[in-house]
């Protein structure tokens, strides 16, 4: 029983580390998935939908890189970082909501989910803000 509990803690720690590492890329990933869904529903087939999703995700990531490279105002860079960190907060909420399926109290489950979303969004925001050039 104790081994199972330790394995559960290790799994949650591993998933949290993975979520933290991938939090910055949540917006390009979600945009790629939504573009692939739209392309598949419109009749492009599985391979065409995958290509559309891949191009859309790469374009969204390219937009982030270009925005950070070209914007000089720290305020505008922070706004871009907030836009890219918002899906990370949604992903953190969803991750904790999926993991805490057996929590008996619905109130505590929501508290845990909101904390997970806050930590996911906050960590992505801090990673993005670190890349802002502070030139006034």
23 pLDDT exceeds 50?
yes
Domains in the chain: boundaries: 25-70, 72-136
126 pLDDT exceeds 90?
no
pLDDT at residue 134 in the model: 57
Q: What are 41-63's pLDDT values in tens digits?
A: 999 999 999 999 999 999 988 98
16 pLDDT exceeds 80?
no
The CA-CA-CA angle for residues 95, 98, 104, to 5°, reads: 130
pLDDT at residue 48 in the model: 93
* Closest alpha carbon to 88 in 59, 53, 113, 125: 125
C-alpha 44, offset from chain centre: 27
pLDDT at residue 136 in the model: 43
pLDDT at residue 105 in the model: 87
């Amino acid at each position: 029983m104790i081994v199972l509990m330790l394995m559960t803690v290790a799994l949650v720690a591993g998933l949290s580390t993975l979520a933290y590492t991938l939090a910055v890329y949540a917006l390009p990933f979600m945009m790629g998935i939504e573009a692939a869904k739209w392309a598949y529903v419109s009749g492009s087939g599985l391979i065409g939908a995958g290509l559309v999703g891949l191009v859309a995700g790469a374009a969204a990531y390219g937009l982030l890189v270009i925005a950070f490279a070209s914007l000089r105002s720290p305020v505008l860079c922070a706004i871009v970082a907030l836009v890219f960190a918002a899906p990370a907060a949604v992903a953190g909420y969803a991750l904790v909501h999926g993991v805490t399926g057996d929590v008996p109290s619905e109130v505590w489950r929501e508290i845990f989910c909101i904390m997970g979303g806050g930590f996911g969004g906050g960590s992505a925001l801090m990673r993005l803000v670190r890349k802002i050039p502070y030139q006034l």
